[in-house]
Amino acid sequence: MKENEIQDELTSIRSMMERSSKFISLSGLSGVLAGVYALIGAAIGYNIIYGTGGFFSYREYVMDDVKRSPGNLYTLILVALAVLVASLITGVYLTIRKAKQKGQNPWGRTSRQLLFNLAVPLVTGGLLVLILISRGYFGIVASTTLIFYGLALVNASNNTYKDVQYLGIIEIVLGLLAALLPGYGLLFWAVGFGVLHIVYGSIMYLKYDR
C-alpha cells in the first residue's frame, strides 16, 4: 500500500472516530436565530427598564425602580422565558434535521452526554438567578447568566465542535465585565446572547452546514 493511501486510510479512521465521539450536528443557523431572538428580547427589556433614555447611560439606580414595580419584573421574566423557549425549540428542530441529514442519531450516547454537560451548569445558574431575583440582587443577574452559560459551553465543548469552547470563554469574560459594571448588564447580555450568537452561528454555518 502506497504512503498516500495509508495516509488517506488514517484520515478516514480518524474522521470516523471523531464522528462517534463528538456530536457534530449542532446547527449554525439555530445560533443565528437565537441571537436574533435575544436582541429582540433585549430591546423589549430595555424599553421596560430604561424607557427612552440614552442606551449607554450608566443607570444602576434603575434597579430600585424594578424593585418597586413587580409588574415590570414579571414582564421581564416572561420576556426572558419567551426568548429561551423560542431558542430551544428552534435549536432542537434544526439540530434534529441536521443530524438526520448527516446520518447521526440525534438522541445517541454522545448527544445525551452533551446535553448533560450543558444542563448541569445551566440548571445551577438558573436556580442561582432565581435566588438572586428573590433577594432583589437584580444588578448581577445578567452577569450570572453570562458566566454560567459560558461555563456550560466550555463544559460541553469536549462533546462537540471546539469552536463552542471559544464562545464559552468569551461569554465568561463578558459576564465578569458585566459584574464590574452592573449598570450596563443589559448591554453585555445583548452582546453575549445576541451579537455573539449571530457571529458564532454564522461562522458555524459557513464552516460546517454548507
Q: How far is CA 63 from the centre of its chain?
A: 25
Determine how many CB atoms are found less than 10 A away from the CB of residue 9: 11
Give the chain's domain count: 1
Quote the CA–CA distance of 117 and 105 in Å, as a whole number. 18
pLDDT at 17: 44
Helix, strand, or coil here: 68? helix
The mean pLDDT of the chain is: 80
Report which DSSP code applies to 99.
H
Rounded-to-integer distance, Cα 197 and Cα 193, Å: 6
pLDDT score for 20: 46
Number of alpha carbons in the 13 Å side-chain half-sphere of residue 208: 24
- Would you say residue 189 lies in a domain? yes
Give the pLDDT score at 7: 59
Nearest to 24 by CA among 132, 93, 120, 114: 114
Position 15 in a domain: no
Residue-wise pLDDT tens digits, 96-110: 888 777 777 777 788
- Residue 200: per-residue pLDDT: 93
Is 88 a member of any domain?
A: yes
Cell of 114: 452533551
What secondary structure letter does DSSP report for 96?
H
- What pTM, to 2 d.p., does this model score? 0.80
| 22 phi-psi bin (left φ>0, alpha ψ -120 to 50, beta other) | beta
* pLDDT, tens digit (0-9, with 9 covering 90-100), for 134-180: 888 888 888 999 999 999 999 988 888 888 899 999 999 999 999 99
Domain assignment of residue 16, yes or no: no
- pLDDT higher for 129 or 74? 129
pLDDT of residue 66: 54
Is 3 part of a structural domain of the chain? Answer: no
Cα dihedral 90→50→134→177 (10° resolution): 70
Q: Within a domain: residue 161?
A: yes
- Determine, yes or no, domain membership for 7: no
Confidence of residue 21 (pLDDT cuts 50, 70, 90): very low
Helix axes 109-135, 141-156, angle to 10 degrees: 170
- Residue 119: the pLDDT is 92
Residue 55 covered by a domain? yes
pLDDT in tens, 114-129: 889 999 999 999 999 9
Find the helix or strand (DSSP H, E) in which 41 lies.
helix 28-50
Q: How many CB atoms lie within 10 A of CB 103?
A: 8
Distance CA 190, CA 196 (A): 9
* pLDDT the model gives residue 36: 96
What local confidence, expressed as pLDDT, does residue 13 receive? 44
CA pair distance 8, 11, nearest whole angstrom: 5
Structural domain span for residue 151: 27-209
